[in-house]
Chains A and B, each alone.
Chain A
Amino acid sequence: MAPTGSRRPGHSRRAQYGTFLNYSLAVAGAAAGGALLLVVASDATAFSGLRGAATDLAAPAGEVGAGARAESQGLLLTLGAYFTKGSRVAQLEREVAQARVRLVEAEALHEENRELRALLKLSQSDPKPIASARLIGSSASSTRRYATLGVGSLQGVAPGMPVVSPLGLVGRVLEVGRSSARVLLITDSQSIIPVRRASDGTVALAVGHPDGTVQLKLQSLGVNPLRAGDAFVTSGSGGLFRPGIPFAVVARPTRDGAIARPLSDPAATDFVIVEPQWDEAGLDSTLPAPAGGQ
């Protein structure tokens, strides 16, 4: 039968009321969505418990996929490497020779650093990792950049903790479920991280871009000293991230800073490490206990 173009189902009052109720519910649903958006806009942590529980439920499926992802990436890399083997081996050998020299220098600096710290009576220890886990998912279809982590409050993870991979900073924990956590990646537009240039300590703020890069905004005005290839590490100010976590490399300088590419590609990392917040770790180990407490 040809559709009539009318939503009126017939003479039955009951059916008419049913149709009316359906449309009322639909409009009410849209209004409820708008109201929820307003609530979330005023308090970003609202409903984080609900999201945490939902992610906990779906986390086991994500774990399976995460293993497959790591394996398939490895396979593609191996296949690709065959085509450029010769030139890459030569280049890598050159780099290894240079790196050996650098390593010796670094060891000397490390030793010197330890002695200086001992003089200042600062503790040397890096913070002990809370947990290590796989990234099991990410908000790949949203312009916000979140990832899901396979550990949660049961393993001692708490909001604000930095998440690092062997290559560098990945992000920080935003919301925690019982066995999963939501990580704000460094490329999210709400992520602002204090960084400094590794070579001379030029300070900048790194703001994420939705296209997978970060924008470095220099703290001091003047001639832009940044060049492509400059490496940046976290500066440790603000007390969330410990100083010296590798962060990003400048891709191209802009008028008041630079666009930089993060060092740790979350897609290529297999396991990441959750570290305690730096200020807590620092307070525990460097300051003497308050006198006359307890």
Chain B
Amino acid sequence: MPLPLPLPKPIREIGRKRINRAPSPLLAVAVPWLVVMAGSLSPMWPVIASAPILPPIGFLMLVAWEQLRPGILPVWAGLPLGLFDDLYSGQPLGSAILLWSIAVILLDFVETRFPWRGFALNWLFASAVIAAYLFLAQALAQPGGVGVPLAILPQLGISLLLYPLIARLVALFDRFRLMPVREA
């Protein structure tokens, strides 16, 4: 047996196949949609809550994608993604379609009006959008508008604090999306 054992093949390949590679067009297009849809599946996570505490992960991811890569999701993306979210979120069907569509149009407007934004400004805009979304969503969920706005305050706090983390996660997925895997 040759003493210096050969390294496993995947390790030997590291760095060798970086040159002359391009991202896969399928990954580059599909990853943002899939990530937002995976966030929308959060009601299937092993959390059974007796109060609204979990942030709307799908919506946070949508906002993060819109801020990180404006235009990567078309401006009508709120319709299909909102429909998918409505199927699982427990909100009345149509609530996310309406609110997500408006949110994407609004974020698109912010992008054209204020193109130069730093982290703090991004967080500020995202906070305003998320707060408005949570408030309107709870108003739409309660027929007759007898909601208890105080009940969403813990959820709002968690969502706003979690947003930068979600944005970093989305940035990670963005790097994954553009990984050079295909021979150019």
Chain A residues near B (Cβ < 8 Å): 2-3, 5-7, 22-23, 25-30, 32-41, 44, 46-47, 50-51, 54-55, 58-59, 61-62, 65-66, 68-69, 72, 135-148, 185, 187, 189-190, 209-212, 262, 265-267, 269
Chain B, interface residues (CB within 8 Å), range: 35 or more
User: Smallest CB-CB separation from A46: which chain B residue?
Assistant: B93
**A27, A210, A212: the one within 8 Å of B147 (CB):** A210
Can you list 27 A-B pairs, Cβ within 8 angstroms, ordered by A?
A5-B112, A22-B76, A25-B74, A26-B104, A26-B105, A28-B79, A33-B79, A33-B100, A36-B93, A36-B94, A37-B98, A40-B94, A41-B143, A50-B93, A51-B87, A69-B48, A137-B43, A142-B89, A143-B142, A143-B151, A187-B51, A210-B51, A210-B138, A210-B148, A212-B49, A267-B48, A267-B50
Question: Contact at B50–A185, with CB atoms within 8 Å?
Answer: yes
CA distance A28 to B76 in the complex (A): 9
- Given A51-B93, A267-B50, the answer on whether A136 and B146 have CB atoms closer than 8 Å is no
Distance to closest chain B CB from A38 (angstroms):
8
Contact residues in A for B115 (Cβ distance below 8 Å): 2-3, 5
Residues in A with CB closer than 8 Å to B43 are: 137-142, 148
Which A residue sits closest to B96, measured CB to CB?
A33
Does B42 belong to the interface (CB within 8 Å)?
A: yes
Indicate if B179 sits at the interface (CB-CB under 8 A). no
Name B91's closest neighbour in chain A (CB-CB).
A142
B112 → A minimal CB distance (Å): 5
Residues of B within 8 A of A66 (CB): 46
> In chain A, what residue has the closest Cβ to B56?
A141
Neighbour of B113 across the interface among A5, A37, A51, A265, CB < 8 A: A5
Contact A210 to B76, CB < 8 A, known contacts A139-B43, A142-B137: no
Would A144 and B90 count as touching, CB distance under 8 A?
Answer: yes
| Inter-chain contacts of B74 with A (CB < 8 A) | 22, 25
A7: chain B residues at CB < 8 Å are 112
Cβ of A58 and Cβ of B44 under 8 Å apart? Answer: yes
User: Once the chains are docked, how many angstroms separate the CA of A27 from the CA of B102?
Assistant: 8
**Alpha-carbon separation in the docked complex, A221 to B50 (Å):** 30
Q: Does B41 contact A (CB under 8 A)?
A: yes
Q: Which residues of A contact B47 (CB under 8 A)?
A: 69, 138, 140, 267
Of the listed residues A37, A55, A142, the one surrounded by the most CB atoms of chain B closer than 10 A to its CB is A142
CB atoms of A212 and B50 under 8 A apart: yes
- CB-based nearest A residue for B139: A143
User: Is A30's CB under 8 angstroms from B98's CB?
Assistant: yes
Top 6 A-B pairs, shortest CB-CB distance: A139-B90, A36-B94, A33-B98, A33-B97, A29-B79, A65-B46
Q: Complex Cα distance A124/B184, Å?
A: 77
Partner of A33, one of B45, B101, B111: B101
- Min CB distance, B58 to chain A, in Å? 9
